[in-house]
Structure 1
């Protein structure tokens, strides 16, 4: 018995696992948050409104604590059972030596992959991904021109640019349309060229992820799973051929996150940057250029890196180099944006997108308390002063069009002048409403973010649907055909039969019919999976690998304050999660820094 305890104690010291009690508390807190949001979102969806009475709050907190702690205890049991498992003797990689230890299903393929060179792994993965997506490309040829395609092609045709959509992405599309016209005399061919380039960018970043797994000697089974997931996860099919900035942004974000994780695994304590730093730099600049909220996600990373430089004494050169590269990439990204604005004479877009949450909250307060007669529950208790400012801010009584799941019906009728030049009045009214009607403010936030916060939410699937119009499901494939046809862009499917099948699955939200597997598709799963990953990294004392999750946290912040839940918004975090899990949890070898810290701690004991 004593020998068993000694082995366990040594294993705990070697792995430096967080004490079980602290880890259990951490997971219980996470479990309570999960239960709270699942319960309140369920109640809100069922009743349409939550009255935050003392009785409701008390019963909700009771269920939250009971079920949340139960989930936390179960989670702690599983995490510690796996983390405390002793590594097999003679296995310096924690039992991950390769094909011999993999599942028999992968057997020969795993052994074969482990013998491949880096170039073979990268280009082989790239080829297989492109071949897997090729049928979808042919079915939707020249691409899915939904989302922002009508607006961006309109800017191109009229040579009038504004930054509601990233200028760099609009110019990239313009360049490909011009190239198609020059080479083939057709705008449609240019759109097909753009889609092909976008596919290559996305497949290239995913192939790089597989390459890093291979180079880090992560079990070949992980590599096979990543490749198969890239080839056959349906959302990759649709997004790879959807003409939208989100796909290009996803490719650069994945490159940035994988490169950053790879740098942390490498743990090279030198000031001089290397190839991986360059890839991290490119990924960072790209994600800033191809989504307007990319810079906000980077600000969160910069804040954490600054703290690491200040307090991470044992690896200060590593943190200093990463901070320097990040700041340089951030500044270069903003400089390029500024230069493009100057060259194109683009106009600054309206910032109402950033006001989506207060727009929803004020509109909800107005129809519940403004005396406007939309709902029988309207008690008319809002003050005249507050009503006056809301009417100045939300024009033409557009709050009557309030939709709990999406801000657009009200947002498009807002006067942002009020926020910009009467900010004192606006803030005074907003906080007065928050004090007077906190329940309605909370309900408005819960309603618009339901798809992000609860894996059991289904409202996200229908938030864009319009009666009598197809292609507006969770996966949007609808073209504004009249508008685009007039610009020389038209549907020209090379595989009509497959097109019909893909349209049926997308338009019918077929992913919701998949038992269990549907949770890989719904947006609400991913926030909790990322939080669980962060908690596990803290428990097993790999806190440094939470650094890439800071970017995800910054990006999630912009989504939670955004206008609605859309698959293209969630896609970047869907894409990145499997690669981060494989790298952070599938890499058995410790970095030199982790080894040094373990030796120091053991020496102190």
Structure 2
């Protein structure tokens, strides 16, 4: 037996180091012909790849040697998926083409690179699964609900007692205090261009439509109107910022308390607390006046309440599920669906899964709780649909959002005209030109953002029937070109969303309105809308130098090793994939249902008009700590109902 183990170890170490070298060199990108909007990558002869190979080798030895992890079939398959996707995404970012796939030698090299890139992700899945399944993050003491992670750090007995007896309120105050400096430095707030246009609609300066969300238009416009009652736009903007601050702090506090109640270790809870309190992302989005912060808070709270209904089993927890709890599920779901219309895509599937999970298994009380939550979630989705499709049209508010759904198709058309202008037929060109500015599309096309192309749509503001009639001919041209340029269509689609699931470099340089690759916004552009006193104007009393230093600090995190991962969309995507694979291994299907809003949010990002746009991706970032805690195997195994 010992001889067999020695023989295995004798071969394991060289294999680990060979795999590490292959993995490191698989990430190297050639500088010749590089067109990516970033700094030139390190050359293949750089010592950086040696250091990376050493890191990979040590990691492989730790995972497969010391921890003796054995990968599941799902972890291997999804590791290979990552390798293929990340390789193709990296090459598309670097060279703006997949033409190399049409040559057999380069295709084989690409597949070898994909294999090399898949190995680190397989090891990561194995390591993460070991942490989640072994209970390494679970508290081993009997009394796991004695307070919050900061209790022992509070020297004043009165403060410690307050935190112990009122953990939710204490955490809410803590998050508010941590984010308050961002509110003060950028007082009254940074208003995004979208809500500047929404305010124009609210005050009658332009026709009202549903482009920026009717509820968001009313809410922000109402805050500005209240502010003007006391003589200042700043007061109204600050009121909106405070709404964001209070609701987002409530979401973060409730998540920490929920994870503590599930028995997560104080170290894990402290990491979650620091993630929300210290990372500049959250303070930056609290002061950023848009619809995304409220949406993130509402969707996070909705998911949290659904998680409580699905997973809580103790008698003292079951007593909490009364009509106020059901009302919270309804209100948070309704707010998420209406403040940003695509929230319905995340809420409705969760409601259906709640309903399916509540039909079978366990005691009657558990089924009733889940069914009540499911009914409330379905009512929220139904109420949002009633608002969008009955109330809004009944008020005479037009819907210009239909054309935005064509963004990926318009991008494919523009790229085809750029790359194959000499083979596009006159009939196809005429059909395109009827709805878009076909002559200028090749110059306007940017792979990472569709707005320059989309805004040439000739039927904005027209009735829906007119738009559909105009798009009918375009659809025929699009289908005929798909048969001729399938690779170009694939390039256009993936170029518009690749950074949401691939580890691509930071975008450097000018993009349309500096949106693609954006993480945080601290510049007020709405003052450029004009001098009309009816427009919203922001006056920031804090000196520009101080605001610039704060913005540099927030954006500087993206250049710090490891900390930069908090700004990387792909890191959250694959972290959640690893957690979901662990839940599959644990056979906890009910907990796996809670990943549905994150999955639907990722799909929304992939069909959105901007690549690597963090405010679109922010809901997934907020859900990640909660879903990781849920994926941790509980001290007392949860009984599972059969799969619906």
User: What TM-score do the two structures reach when normalised by structure 1?
Assistant: 0.81
Unaligned runs of 5+ in 1: 2-19, 371-379, 598-605
Q: Distance in 1 between matches of 2:166 and 2:116?
A: 52
Equivalent in 621, 628, 632 of residue 585 of structure 1? 632
The residue aligned with 1:7 is none
Change (3 A) 1:85 1:323: closer
Q: Distance in 2 between matches of 1:289 and 1:30?
A: 35
Q: Distance in 2 between matches of 1:36 and 1:500?
A: 40
The residue aligned with 1:15 is none
Equivalent in 450, 453, 466 of residue 407 of structure 1? 450
Deviation track 1:446-472 (CA, whole Å, cap 9, x = no partner) reads 211122121233238854456xxx999
Change (3 A) 1:209 1:464: farther
Q: Distance in 1 between matches of 2:509 and 2:141?
A: 40
Q: Distance in 1 between matches of 2:295 and 2:288?
A: 13
Change (3 A) 1:536 1:464: farther
The 3-state SS of whatever aligns with 2:538 is: coil
**Offset at residue 293 of structure 1 (A):** 0.6
Structure 1 residue 25 corresponds to structure 2 residue 67: no
Equivalent in 160, 167, 184 of residue 214 of structure 2? 167
**Offset at residue 434 of structure 1 (A):** 2.2
Equivalent in 361, 376, 385 of residue 325 of structure 1? 376
Preserved contact between residue 94 and residue 589 of structure 1 (Cα < 8 Å): no
Equivalent in 382, 403, 407 of residue 356 of structure 1? 407
Q: How does 1:17-96 map to 2 (within 5 A)?
A: 24-51=72-99, 52-55=101-104, 56-65=106-115, 67-68=117-118, 70-71=119-120, 73-75=122-124, 77-79=126-128, 81-82=130-131, 85=134, 95=140
Change (3 A) 1:440 1:304: farther
RMSD over aligned Cα, in angstroms? Answer: 3.6
The residue aligned with 1:176 is 223
Q: Distance in 1 between matches of 2:325 and 2:629?
A: 18
The residue aligned with 2:38 is none
Change (3 A) 1:237 1:85: closer
Aligned residue pairs total 554
Structure 1 residue 297 corresponds to structure 2 residue 346: yes
Deviates more, 1:525-534 or 1:361-370: 525-534
Q: How does 1:88-487 map to 2 (within 5 A)?
A: 95=140, 97=142, 108-109=152-153, 120-158=166-204, 160-182=207-229, 184-267=230-313, 274-305=323-354, 308=357, 320-337=371-388, 341=392, 344-370=395-421, 380-395=422-437, 397-400=439-442, 401-415=444-458, 420-421=468-469, 425-459=473-507, 463-464=511-512, 473-480=518-525, 481-483=527-529, 486=532, 487=535
Change (3 A) 1:344 1:312: same
Preserved contact between residue 450 and residue 459 of structure 1 (Cα < 8 Å): no
**Offset at residue 436 of structure 1 (A):** 1.5
Preserved contact between residue 80 and residue 114 of structure 2 (Cα < 8 Å): yes
Deviates more, 1:247-256 or 1:47-56: 47-56
Q: Distance in 2 between matches of 1:281 and 1:100?
A: 28
**Offset at residue 273 of structure 1 (A):** 6.0
**Offset at residue 95 of structure 1 (A):** 2.9
**Offset at residue 198 of structure 1 (A):** 1.6
Q: Distance in 2 between matches of 1:461 and 1:310?
A: 53
**Offset at residue 342 of structure 1 (A):** 5.5
Structure 1 residue 557 corresponds to structure 2 residue 600: no
**Offset at residue 45 of structure 1 (A):** 2.3
Preserved contact between residue 141 and residue 493 of structure 1 (Cα < 8 Å): yes
Unaligned runs of 5+ in 2: 2-67, 460-464
Deviates more, 1:419-428 or 1:572-581: 419-428
**Offset at residue 83 of structure 1 (A):** 5.9
